[in-house]
Amino acid sequence: MLTCKDFLTELNDYLDESVDRELKVKLEQHVTECPNCFVVFDTTKKTIKIYKGIEPQVIPEDIHSRLMAALHKKMAAGKGYS
């Protein structure tokens, strides 16, 4: 029998689906029996999903221009040949 503490210790690997089958069965059983651990599991899973789903913002135009200017300068100078 897993305790809630055991469950928490394994939570990461469980979320990343990197636990072996035997342990997975035990963890699955624990979440069906323990509503609190189910909530922690479910909300942590959602936390990760929400962060993964967010697209990076477009870079401010001036920052992009300065980056390209610095690069073009470097490219014009050639790398290592000058």
Partner 1 sequence: MSETTVAEVFDEAPLVERARSGDTAAFSELVNRYERKIFRLAKHITQNDEDAEDVLQETFLKAYSHLESFQGHSKFYTWIVRIAVNEALMKLRKRKSSRTVSLDEPTDTGEDTMVREIAVWEENPEQKYSRDELREILDKAVESLKPAFRTVFVLRDIEELSTEETATALDISIPAVKSRLLRARLQLREKLTKFFRRKGDDVFAYL
Residues that bind partner 1 (CB under 8 A): 8, 11-13, 15-16, 35-36, 39-40, 42-44, 46-48, 50-59, 63-64, 66-68, 70-71, 74-75, 79-80
Residues 6+ apart with CB under 8 A from 28: none
Which CB atom, from 1 or from 50, has the smaller least distance to partner 1?
Answer: 50
CB of 25 vs partner 1, minimal distance in Å: 21
**Residue recorded with tokens 């990197």:** 18
Which CB atom, from 21 or from 43, has the smaller least distance to partner 1?
Answer: 43
CB of 28 vs partner 1, minimal distance in Å: 18
24 and 2 in contact (C-beta within 8 Å)? no
The DSSP result for 30-42, as a single string, is HHHH-HHHHHHHH
